[in-house]
């Protein structure tokens, strides 16, 4: 059971690190002028972000249902729920940059001289930075939850 639990934990961490890396890459790319090529790259990185988010969720659900601690432990932990609410907030915030990247791709396809308006790129970067700052809370909540603090 411990090896099984460790494997689920490992998957959860790997997907979380990929997710964090994708968000950092988005933040970096949004500091540059966004032309058609950059918009396509942003959308590709955002796809990594989305796939890793699904991986985090699936691995997390597997840990809760089939991990060593079980649902009863997690359900009683307030920091588990804080972690879930924060992850949900990050996911909801991520919708706006993704939609913007899709609009940029469409506009870039309509004209080779596409350049994203600087204000739009700054707004998208601001949202990605908010996501990154919220993401930094998740390991704190996980550490508190794993130790039963608050429960």
Specify the pLDDT at position 144. Answer: 96
Q: From residue 107, give the alpha-carbon distance in Å to each of 8, 26, 34, 40, 121.
A: 41, 19, 12, 11, 14
pLDDT number for residue 98: 98
Q: What is the pLDDT along the chain (151 residues), one digit of tens a residue?
A: 789 889 999 999 999 999 999 999 999 999 999 999 999 999 999 999 999 999 999 999 999 999 999 999 999 999 999 999 999 999 999 999 999 999 999 999 998 899 999 999 999 999 999 999 999 999 999 999 999 998 7
80 in Cβ contact with 135 (< 8 Å): no
Could you tell me if 74 and 133 are in contact, meaning their C-beta atoms sit under 8 angstroms apart?
no
Per-residue pLDDT at 56: 98
Structural tokens at position 124? 């998208």
Report the distance separating Cα 13 and Cα 134, nearest Å: 17
d(CA 19, CA 57): 11
**DSSP assignment of the chain:** -HHHHHHHHHHHHHHHHHHHHHHHHHHHHTTS--BHHHHHHHHHHHHHHHHHHHHHHHHHHHHHHHSSSHHHHHHT-HHHHHHHHHHHHHHHHHHHHHHHHHHHHHHHHH-TT-B--HHHHHHHHHHHHHHHHHHTHHHHHHHHHHTTTT-
């Amino acid at each position: 059971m411990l090896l099984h639990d460790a494997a689920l934990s490992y998957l959860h961490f790997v997907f979380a690190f990929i997710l964090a890396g994708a968000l950092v890459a988005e933040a970096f790319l949004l500091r540059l002028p966004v032309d058609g090529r950059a918009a396509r790259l942003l959308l590709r990185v955002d796809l990594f972000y989305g796939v890793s988010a699904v991986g985090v969720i699936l691995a997390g659900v597997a840990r809760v249902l089939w991990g060593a601690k079980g649902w009863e432990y997690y359900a009683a932990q307030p920091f588990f729920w804080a972690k879930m609410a924060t992850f949900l907030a990050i996911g909801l915030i991520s919708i706006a940059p993704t939609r913007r990247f899709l609009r940029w791709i469409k506009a870039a396809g309509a004209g080779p001289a596409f350049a994203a308006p600087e204000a739009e790129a700054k707004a998208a970067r601001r949202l990605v930075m908010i996501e990154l700052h919220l993401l930094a809370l998740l390991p704190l909540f996980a550490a508190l939850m794993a130790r039963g603090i608050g429960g």
